[in-house]
Copies of this chain bind each other. A is one copy, B any other.
Amino acid sequence: MLICREVGEAMSIKLYDLVGHDEKRPFSPHCWKVAFALAHKGLEFESVPARFRDIQSLEDGASRTVPLIRDGEQVISESFRIALYLDEAYPDLPPLFKGEGTVPLTRFIERWAHQTVYAQIARMILGDLFAILDEGDREYFRKTREARFGQKLEDVPVGREERLPAFRASLDPLRSMVERQAFIAGEEPCFADYIIAGGFQWARVSSSFQLLETDDPVAGWFERCLDLYGGLARSIAAAA
């Protein structure tokens, strides 16, 4: 990933990318979806580090969440909307969605990813996420997450080892696809792959907790995702 904040790089797209205390380690799953998508299109981009408390002032308060991109005059938020924008704005570059009919089906897979994969990962890595945050973001994070989970932050991951079998079983739809082919759509990845890979990269960057057994076909698929685009996602070392 280019981490580049020099003035005068007007041609490249800016991706406002959530980081913790180490601004070279973007960790947001939704931002990773967009990083994968930009690389898939072959578009140059700069990852602009942002902390939770910065988000509201980015691009004159254009969004309450990241990812947020600036592409010339265009400012777009939300990963799925950004992916749609990229295919529309750059129709001659490799498509993220192969045909209009794939958009709602990819949305379905996104909902599955968020409600099943992300939700379970979040519970397991919440303490690790808190630990990588910048000091100034911690109060906000604790307050919002404790409200969301209805529990003290430290209690949410308790018992995570016992939840692993159910988590791994819930990946069966993905597993049954990628045990026979490289990516969900076949030999080439599509946006659905990036949606799910974003979740695993989130865990990889923020936590050393081992979500997958190494011989799991899902682990093999994620390794292939890490290899994509010159090792874009692998260039951030796994959390130790």
Contacts from A to B (Cβ < 8 Å): 97-102, 104-109, 111-112, 115-116, 172-174, 176-177, 184-186, 190, 192
- Assess whether B111 is in contact with A185, with CB atoms less than 8 Å apart: no
Once the chains are docked, how many angstroms separate the CA of A112 from the CA of B105?
Answer: 12
Q: A132 CB to closest chain B CB, in angstroms?
A: 29
Q: How many copies does the complex hold?
A: 2
Residues of B within 8 A of A174 (CB): 108
What are 25 A-B pairs at a CB distance below 8 A? A98-B101, A99-B99, A99-B102, A101-B101, A101-B102, A101-B185, A101-B190, A102-B102, A102-B105, A104-B185, A105-B105, A105-B106, A105-B109, A105-B184, A105-B185, A108-B109, A108-B173, A108-B184, A108-B192, A109-B173, A111-B173, A111-B176, A111-B177, A115-B172, A115-B176
How distant is A43 from chain B, measured CB to nearest CB, in Å? 20
Shortest A170–chain B CB gap in Å is 8
A101 and B108 contact, CB distance less than 8 A: no
Rounded to whole Å, the gap between the CB of A72 and the closest CB of chain B is 28
